[in-house]
Structure 1
Amino acid sequence: MRTLLTLLACCCVVSAAVGADKDPLISPSTKTALPGGAAGAASSSASGSASASAPARKLSKREEEAQAEADLSVRIQERLAAMRANQQARAAAAAKAKKVAAAKAAAVAAVPKVYSNVWSYEGEAGPANWGKINPAWARCGSGNRQSPIDIRDGMKVDLEQITFDYHPSSFNVTDNGHTVQVMVGNGNFITVGNRTYELVQFHFHRPSEERINGKGFEMVMHLVHKDGEGRIAILALLLERGKPQPVIQNVWNNLPLEKFDTAVPSSTLDPMDLIPARRDYFTFMGSMTTPPCEENVLWLVMKEPVQASPAQMALFSRLYPLNARPTQPSNGRIIKESQ
C-alpha cells in the first residue's frame, strides 16, 4: 500500500512537470524560471524561425494596380526631370552660341569694308557685275536711265540746232587702261536747250556703244561736257570707215608709250574739225557708260557718222579690241530726233 502511494505521488510530479507549459495558470515568469532558461530560449528561437519562414502575403488586385500606378508616376517624373534638364542645357548652349555669333558680327562690322574700284569690259569685273562690285555703282545694275541704248522710235520734232563754239586748244592724251582719253583746254562750248556746256574731254569706244535701229558702228567718240552746275551733256560721234580724220591722227601721233601714262604735246587740236556737216541728232536722258554710271546725263547723238581710215581704227583696236558697254533697255524713255 505504501509502495502504491509512493508511485502515485511520483506520477503526479512528472505529470505536473510535463504539462506545465500547457497550463494557463502558470505565468511566463514561471516558465523562464526553469533551470538554465532552456524553456525561454527554446520558445524564442522557435518563434523567430516561424516568423522568418512564413510566406509573404499576396497583394490584392486593387493593391497591385495601385502599386503599378505609383511606379508609373515615379518613372514619368524621372523622365520629365531628364527632359527639363536637356532643354535647359540646349537653351544655355543656344544662348552661348548666339552671344558668340553676335560678338563676331560686331567685330566684323567694326572693321571698315573696302570695296573694289577695279572694273573691266570683260570677265568677272565686266559690265554684268559692275553693280555688284561696289555699292557706289549700284545704278550700273539697276538704274532707270542707263546708257548706251539702241535708239529706236524717236519722235521727229523740230529740235533746235546745237550751237558749237569750239576753237584750237591745247590737249593731253592719257591711256587710262580702259580707253584713250583726251583732255582739252578750257574755252570750248556747246549750247543746247538754252543751256551752255563746256567741253572737258573726249574718248573712244570700240565697237560703238550706241546703236540706231539695231545698227552698230565700228567705233564711237564721246565728247563730255559740263555746265556751271555740274550737269553733263555727251555728244556722241559715230565712226565709220572712210578717209583719215585729222584730229584722230593728231591724237594717235601723241599716244603715250605706256598704259596709265599721259603725253602732253606742244601742238593743238581743234574739236570743231570733228563735227560733221549735217547737224541732225537724237537726244534723250541717260547715264555715263562707265562706273559709277551716274544718271541725268543729256545725250546728243549725231545722225551723220564721222569718217576715219581703216588704219586709224586698226591702231585703236590693237590697244583695245573691246571696250564697249552693251546697250541697255530704253525703258520707255522719250527719244527725240531732228526731222
Structure 2
Amino acid sequence: MLVRKSLHSSLVSLVALSGTLLLVTGCSSSSKSQGLPEEKQITKQEPVPMEEQKDAEAQPPAANAGPGDHHEEMHPDEKSHMEHHATAHPRWGYEGVLGPQMWGDLAAEYSTCKAGDMQSPIDLKWSKPSQGRPLQFNYKPSRLKIIDNGHTIQINADQGSQLVVNGETFDLIQVHFHAQSEHTLSGKHFPMEMHFVHKSASGKLAVVGRMLKVGDKANPVIEKIWANLPKQKTMEMEAAGHAIDFSAMLPKSLTYYNYAGSLTTPPCTQGVDWNVLNTPLEISKDQLAAFRALYSNNFRPVQSLNGRKAINY
C-alpha cells in the first residue's frame, strides 16, 4: 500500500508540473500573438555661410521635386564633419536635451563644446580688407556620392580635390549644409550655409564656408544634389552617371574672412582654420524650401569670440 500511495503521489506531481509548463508556454505564445511589447533594439543615426556638416560642421533639404526622404565636419577626427555617418559616438542633435546648449554635458568627449575658448561659429563684422593669404582651389569633378547622416545632407568627395592656403595643402573630404547659416554677418543670418571640409596630411582641418541666399533662378549644382538625395538615412548613395563639379559652387571673387575656430558639431574640436567667403551663392525659393523640409534648424548658435578677430582678406 505504501508503494502504491508513493507512486500515486509522484504521478500527481508530474501531471501538475506538466500543466504548469503548458500554461507558461501558452502564455508566451499568447503574448506574441497579441503583439505585446518585446525588447526593442536601439539603433543610432548619424548628423554640417558665410562660414560652417565623410565634421563641421558638418546641415541640408528631395529627390526630383526637392530633397528626398531621409538627411556635421569627417567628425574631423574622422569622416562625420568629415562624414556627417552613423557612428558609435553619443547621440546629439539640434533641439531639446540633445541640442547645442547641452552638447558639452552629453559625453566627456564633447566637453570642448562647453569648455573650449575658440569655438565656432561666430558673428562676422565688416572690416577693411587686408592683402595676402589667397585661397587656391584645385578641385576636380567627383562622383556624386550623397549621404543623409541624420544631421545634414553631405556630399563625399573623391580623392584629388585640394585647397592650398599659406603653402599648406588640404584634401577636400566632404561638403554639407546648414539652415539657417551658422555664421552671422553683423548679427544677421543667411537662409543657409554650406561647408567645404578639408584635411591636411598632418590632420589639420580647414573649412571653407559659403552663405546661400534666395535669388530668381535655381542653382544647377544644388538642383542636381537635391534630385539625387538618398531615401534612407546613414547610407551613402552614388548617383549613377552623375558627377559633381565642386568648383562650380565657388564664387569668382575669393575674398573671405579668416579666423581660428572649431568644428560646429560635436566633438567641437578646436584648431580649425575657418575661411568664410564674402560672396553668397544664389538658390531658388523652391530649393531653399526643399532643404528646409528636411532640416530647418540644423545650425549651432554663434559662440563668444574670447578675444579672437576675423580678418577680411
TM-score normalised by length of structure 1: 0.64
Superposition pairs for residues 2-151 of structure 1, below 5 Å? 117-151=90-124
CA offsets 1:89-116 (integer angstroms, 9 cap, x no match): xxxxxxxxxxxxxxxxxxxxxxxxxx97
Aligned-residue offset at 1:260: 2.3
Q: Which has the higher contact order (CA 8 A, sep 6+)?
A: 2
In our comparison, the structure showing a higher alpha carbon Rg is 1
Tell me which of 133, 152, 174 is aligned to 1:160.
133
Q: CA deviation at 1:154?
A: 4.3
Aligned to 2:175: 202
SS at match of 2:312: strand
What whole-Å deviation, never above 9, does each CA across 1:155-212 have from its counterpart, x for those lacking one? 6321332111112111311111110011011100111111111100010000000011
In structure 1, the residue corresponding to 2:243 is in which secondary structure? coil
Of 223, 230, 242 in structure 2, the residue corresponding to residue 256 of structure 1 is 230
Distance 1:305 1:147 in 2: 19
Structure 1 unaligned residues grouped into runs of 5+:
1-114
Matches of 1:316 and 1:224, distance apart in 2: 20
Give, as a single letter, the amino acid of the residue that structure 1 aligns with 2:205: I
Contact 1:223 1:236 (C-alpha < 8 Å) held by counterparts: yes
Contact 1:120 1:127 in 2 (8 A): yes
Structure 2 CA distance for partners of 1:288 and 1:155, relative to 1, 3 Å = farther
SS of residue paired to 1:250: helix
Summarize the alignment of residues 175-324 of structure 1 with structure 2, pairs less than 5 Å apart: 175-242=148-215, 243-266=217-240, 267-324=242-299
Residue of structure 2 in register with 1:59 after alignment: none
**1:323 aligned partner, one-letter code:** N
1:104 aligns to what? none
Aligned mates of 1:116, 1:298 — CA distance in 2: 24
Relative to structure 1, is the Cα distance of residues 153 and 303 closer, same or farther in structure 2, using a 3 angstrom cutoff?
A: closer
Provide, for residues 3-59 of structure 1, a one-character-per-residue CA deviation record: whole Å limited to 9, x for no partner.
xxxxxxxxxxxxxxxxxxxxxxxxxxxxxxxxxxxxxxxxxxxxxxxxxxxxxxxxx
Within 2, Cα distance between the matches of 1:293 and 1:300? 17
Q: Deviations over 1:218-270 (max 9, x none)?
A: 00000000111010000001000012222211111110112223211121100
Whether the aligned pair in 2 keeps the contact of 1:187 and 1:198 (CA below 8 Å) is: yes
Q: Which residue of 1 aligns with 2:80?
A: none
Residues 236 and 195 (structure 1), Cα distance of their counterparts in 2 relative to 1, 3 Å cut: same
- Unmatched 5+ residue regions in structure 2? 1-87
Aligned partners of 1:159 and 1:337 also within 8 Å: no
Q: What is the alpha-carbon distance in structure 2 between the residues aligned to residue 159 and residue 309 of structure 1?
A: 34
Contact persistence 1:241–1:310 (CA under 8 A): yes
How far apart, CA to CA, are the structure 1 residues paired with 2:306 and 2:229? 38
Aligned AA for 1:158? Q
CA distance in structure 1 between the aligned counterparts of 2:205 and 2:199, rounded to whole angstroms: 5
C-alpha separation in 1, matches of 2:303 and 2:264? 10
Report the more deviating stretch, 318-327 or 153-162: 153-162
Q: Which has the higher helix share?
A: 1
The code of the aligned residue for 1:213 comes to S
User: Could you say what the CA RMSD is over the residues aligned between the two structures, in angstroms?
Assistant: 1.4
Q: Distance in 2 between matches of 1:191 and 1:258?
A: 35
Pairwise CA distance, 1:287: 0.2
1: CA distance between counterparts of 2:223 and 2:189?
23
Deviation by residue 1:47-79 (Cα, 9 ceiling, x = unmatched): xxxxxxxxxxxxxxxxxxxxxxxxxxxxxxxxx
Cα distance in 1, alignment partners of residues 139 and 223 from structure 2: 18
Q: Percent identity?
A: 38
Map of 2:311 onto structure 1: 336
Q: What number of residue pairs does the alignment pair up?
A: 224
In structure 2, C-alpha distance between the alignment counterparts of 1:118 and 1:181, rounded to whole Å: 18
